[in-house]
Amino acid sequence: MIEFNSVSKTFQEITNTFPALSDISFAIQKGEAFGVVGESGAGKSTLLRLINALEKPTSGSVDVEGITLSTLENKQLRPLKKRISMVFQQFNLLNNKTVAENVRLPLEIHSHSVHLTVDEALNFVGLEDKKDQYPSQLSGGQKQRVGIARALVTRPDILLCDEPTSALDQSTAEEIVQVLKEAHKAFNMTIVVVTHDLPVVKALCQRVAVLEKGELKTILDVNPSTEPAENKPYHERAIEVLSNG
Amino acid sequence: MVENVRLYLERVAEYLPRMLESLGETGIMLFFAMLAAILLGIPVGTLLYLTSSGRPMEHRLLNRILNAFVNIIRSFPFLLLVVAMQPFIREVYGRATGDPVAASFPMVVIAIALYARFVEQSLNDIPREIIETAQSMGATTWQLVWKFLYVEARSSLIVGFTTAAISFVSYSTIMGVVGGGGIGDFAIRYGYQRYETDIMYTAIVLIILLVELFQWLGLKLAKRLDKR
């Protein structure tokens, strides 16, 4: 369980301070797929970064599985971070490492008693044939699959996704959502997805928090769409959007 | 014409043993300078990066000390650094002149300062996202440095090393002043002081070839390791 208790975060600039989050309280249940949506600057990335202690709250507390993060030193945070993985908007792969080396990296940072093998992780995202290539040889969607494989290889309890589809075109984004959905089903971890892209959370999440200017407006239960996600080719979609009044 | 070429070759043959000896002395000085750049320049440069403001090991005092060291050494006119270090070299090595190992001391000092700055700049060029990725994984600073920073910066570290090594060649030519020898000293002694211009140019061509070789090797290696 991830709990936000009256969390505020202000960033100090040279002349003024501006609030990124003000008085946020909510809880994400274990195993839930939870979305956080909002426009740019709503504070959603800050909220995500609080969960793995990349940021510390100005006031209030963030508890992950009963542990208040702000009470821990960097060293004590390591065992917690070991069980949290992150998927990034810009993929954040190491360009000088092969696909397989990138996926293996988290296993070199901590020793895990239970984990996937690099091959299993790459199989899961459908990239087993790319293991010896370098990120620069991959498309955006493939890079994000590597990012997901790297996140899954440790069998995390919590998967944080920061705008995972925002650097991708629509059909690639849908593929990535499918991969994340399958990962949630297969590995049964808590997923927190931050995005401005509403269809992404609609397809992936059970509950969604709506942020506006640093304030939590509401938490919605997602009504899953009954019709399967359309997977039209790009040129058909282009005709649909551009030509049909 | 043919006669001139024959005369020139004869002179080169005559001076060849001295020239090779000088090259050997240059080699000794470059060896110590490069070794110091790698063994000490890299750690100093990495610490400069890690301790600067906003970086993972932010430490203002240590950063100031390291910066002061690098700046002072680099702003010293090299000839004065050589002279200023004489008492120290005599103290630790027994003699300060007349031998390429003694002459290597100032080379080592400038090598550390120069390459440390290159290393810091290479690390500064790594995107912030990479550091954040390491931190999100809970990597220790040691892991951040070895598994992320050096991996992503490796070509730029090699390009910087190449540039530094070429500067070392240039610095080494001054060491004749304290009897350190080397190919630069050879060129000055025979060409400038004894008016044997042909021999001087031969030595200069050798220096140019040495620099070209470093540049070629460095860029080739950097390119091979760059997968961006």
Per-residue pLDDT of B100-148, as tens digits, reads 999 999 999 999 999 999 999 999 999 999 999 999 999 999 999 999 9
Q: Determine, yes or no, domain membership for A194.
A: yes
Neighboring chain B residues of A86 at a CB cutoff of 8 Å: 133, 136-137
- Please tell me the distance from the alpha carbon of residue B21 to that of residue B23, in angstroms, as a whole number: 5
A92/B132 touch (CB, cutoff 8 Å), yes or no = yes
Neighboring chain B residues of A105 at a CB cutoff of 8 Å: 137, 147
The three state secondary structure string of chain B is CHHHHHHHHHHHHHHHHHHHHHHHHHHHHHHHHHHHHHHHHHHHHHHHHHHCCCCCCCCHHHHHHHHHHHHHHHHCCHHHHHHHCHHHHHHHHCCCCCCHHHHHHHHHHHHHHHHHHHHHHHHHCCCHHHHHHHHHCCCCHHHHHHHHHHHHHHHHHHHHHHHHHHHHHHHHHHHHHHCCCCHHHHHHHHHHHCCCHHHHHHHHHHHHHHHHHHHHHHHHHHHHHCCC
At B197, the pLDDT band (50, 70, 90 cuts) reads confident
* CATH, residue B144: 1.10.3720.10
Neighboring chain B residues of A81 at a CB cutoff of 8 Å: 136-138
Q: Residue A9: which H helix or E strand, with range?
A: strand A2-12
For A20-33, give one letter per residue: b (16+ CB within 10 A) or e: bbbebebebeeebb
Q: Determine, yes or no, domain membership for B3.
A: no
Which chain B residue has its CA at the smallest distance from A50's CA?
A: B136
Å between B219 CA and nearest CA of chain A: 16
For A60-70, give one letter per residue: b (16+ CB within 10 A) or e: bebbbeeeebe
Which chain A residue has its CA at the smallest distance from B56's CA?
A: A74
Neighboring chain B residues of A135 at a CB cutoff of 8 Å: 227
Q: What is the number of other CB atoms lying within 10 angstroms of the CB of residue B147? A: 20
| ipTM of the complex, rounded to two decimals | 0.89
Q: Determine, yes or no, domain membership for A59.
A: yes
In DSSP terms, A3 is beta-bridged to A27, A63
Count of domains forming chain A: 1
Rg of chain A over CA atoms, in angstroms?
18
A78/B130 touch (CB, cutoff 8 Å), yes or no = no
Residues B115 and B41 sit within 8 Å (Cβ to Cβ): yes
Looking at residue A229, what is its pLDDT? Answer: 55
* CATH, residue A22: 3.40.50.300
Question: Could you give phi then psi for residue A161, rounded to 5 degrees?
Answer: -120, 115
Which chain A residue has its CA at the smallest distance from B126's CA?
A: A94
A105/B147 touch (CB, cutoff 8 Å), yes or no = yes
Q: What is the number of other CB atoms lying within 10 angstroms of the CB of residue B92? A: 9
B151/A94 touch (CB, cutoff 8 Å), yes or no = yes
Cα of first residue to Cα of last residue in chain A, in angstroms, is: 47
Q: Determine, yes or no, domain membership for B67.
A: yes
Residue of A210, A207, A154, A190 whose CA lies nearest to A65: A190
B138/A95 touch (CB, cutoff 8 Å), yes or no = no
- Per-chain mean pLDDT for chain B: 93
Q: Determine, yes or no, domain membership for B4.
A: no
Q: Determine, yes or no, domain membership for B169.
A: yes
Query: Does position B207 have pLDDT exceeding 80, yes or no?
Result: yes
Interface of A with B (CB under 8 A): 52, 54, 77-82, 84, 86, 88, 90, 92, 94-97, 105-106, 108-110, 134-136, 160
Six-digit token string for B174 = 């001054």
A109/B228 touch (CB, cutoff 8 Å), yes or no = no
B148/A94 touch (CB, cutoff 8 Å), yes or no = yes
B152/A54 touch (CB, cutoff 8 Å), yes or no = no
CA angle B191/B196/B198 to nearest 5° reads 95
Residues B148 and B134 sit within 8 Å (Cβ to Cβ): yes
- Please tell me the distance from the alpha carbon of residue A36 to that of residue B130, in angstroms, as a whole number: 24
Looking at residue A156, what is its pLDDT? Answer: 96
Whole-angstrom CA distances from B207 to A67, A115, B9, B23, B215 are 64, 56, 19, 9, 12
A94/B130 touch (CB, cutoff 8 Å), yes or no = yes
Residues A176 and A148 sit within 8 Å (Cβ to Cβ): yes
Count of domains forming chain B: 1
- Please tell me the distance from the alpha carbon of residue A54 to that of residue A160, in angstroms, as a whole number: 12
Q: Determine, yes or no, domain membership for A147.
A: no
Residue-wise DSSP of A202-225: HHH-SEEEEEETTEEEEEEE----
Q: What is the pLDDT of residues B8-46, one digit of tens each?
A: 999 889 999 999 999 999 999 999 999 999 999 999 999
Q: What residue numbers bound the domain in which B121 lies?
A: 16-225
Q: Would you put residue A194 in left (φ > 0), alpha (ψ -120 to 50) or beta? A: beta
- Please tell me the distance from the alpha carbon of residue A68 to that of residue A148, in angstroms, as a whole number: 27
A166 three-class SS: coil
B227/A88 touch (CB, cutoff 8 Å), yes or no = no
- Please tell me the distance from the alpha carbon of residue A99 to that of residue A127, in angstroms, as a whole number: 9
Neighboring chain A residues of B224 at a CB cutoff of 8 Å: none
Q: Are strands A215-221 and A207-212 parallel, antiparallel or unpaired?
A: antiparallel
Q: What residue numbers bound the domain in which A48 lies?
A: 1-83+160-167+190-221
Residue B138 has its nearest CB partner, among A82, A95, A134, at A82
Residue B138 has its nearest CB partner, among A90, A95, A109, at A109
Q: Determine, yes or no, domain membership for A140.
A: no
A110/B138 touch (CB, cutoff 8 Å), yes or no = yes
- Please tell me the distance from the alpha carbon of residue A46 to that of residue B97, in angstroms, as a whole number: 62
Instruction: List, for chain A, all residue ranges whose pLDDT scores fall below the cut of 70.
Output: 225-231, 245
Q: Determine, yes or no, domain membership for B11.
A: no
Neighboring chain A residues of B141 at a CB cutoff of 8 Å: none
Looking at residue A226, what is its pLDDT? Answer: 61
Residues B68-74 have a mean pLDDT of 95
Residues A179 and A125 sit within 8 Å (Cβ to Cβ): yes
B228/A95 touch (CB, cutoff 8 Å), yes or no = yes
Q: Determine, yes or no, domain membership for A215.
A: yes
Å between B216 CA and nearest CA of chain A: 21
Six-digit token string for B169 = 């060649």
Q: If you count residue pairs, one on A and one on B, with CB atoms under 8 Å apart, how many are there?
A: 58
Interface of B with A (CB under 8 A): 129-130, 132-133, 135-140, 143, 147-148, 151-152, 154-155, 225-228
Q: Determine, yes or no, domain membership for A138.
A: no
Question: Which of A130-144, A222-236, B165-179, B193-207 has the lowest average pLDDT?
Answer: A222-236
Query: Does position B66 have pLDDT exceeding 70, yes or no?
Result: yes
Looking at residue A15, what is its pLDDT? Answer: 76
A109/B137 touch (CB, cutoff 8 Å), yes or no = yes
Q: Determine, yes or no, domain membership for B144.
A: yes
- For an interface test with A, the pick among B130, B131, B133 (most A C-beta atoms closer than 10 Å) comes out as B133
Rg of chain B over CA atoms, in angstroms?
21
Six-digit token string for B104 = 């290597």
Percent of residues, chain B, with pLDDT higher than 90: 79
Whole-angstrom CA distances from B177 to A2, A208, B114, B185 are 70, 75, 22, 8
Residues B161-171 have a mean pLDDT of 95
